[in-house]
Amino acid sequence: MMKDKFEWHEVANIADTSSDRPLEVIVGDTVVILVKFGKDVMAYQGLCPHQFARLSQGTIAGDSLHCPRHKASFDIHDGTCGPGWQLPALRQYRVRIKAGVVLLAYPLAVKAGQD
Ligand code: FES
């Protein structure tokens, strides 16, 4: 069996994640948010690329995450910025779920296709 090139660290129980409200976790010195989507959990940078508001204080409506400060929106599927703003997509991190626990690669690794 091939060895995994990442170390995986437990950051939350899946039961603590929600599709209504991002859950903030700190990995090293990086703020990350977890958002449940169906059976999956997505992990994104936790600070807004506009003026660094904590996205864990934002709201999720439909498929969009809204920043709490100036209301920029980001698609919850891929982190891309919504209409009316020209911000970079949210950095998305690799996630694993094992036995009800959410694991993130450490050091944080961006999801394939974003690196
Ligand atoms: S800080 Fe997020 S939209 Fe301005």
Domain ranges of the chain: 7-106
Choice from 47, 66, 70, 74 to test ligand 1 binding pocket (greatest atom count within 8 A of CB): 70
CA angle 37, 103, 81 (to 5 degrees): 45
Q: pTM for this structure?
A: 0.92
111 lines ligand 1 (CB under 6 A): no
Q: How confident is the model at residue 1 (pLDDT cuts 50, 70, 90)?
A: low
What's the CATH fold of domain 7-106?
Answer: Rieske Iron-sulfur Protein (2.102.10)
Count the neighbouring beta carbons within 10 Å of the beta carbon of residue 73.
22
Q: In Å, how far are 4, 23, 55, 100, 114 from 60, measured between CA atoms?
A: 33, 11, 10, 23, 23
Report whether residue 51 contacts ligand 1, using a CB cutoff of 6 Å.
Answer: yes
pLDDT tens-place string over residues 46-91: 999 999 999 999 999 999 999 999 999 999 999 999 999 999 999 9
Query: Is 11 in contact with 17 (CB distance < 8 Å)?
Result: no
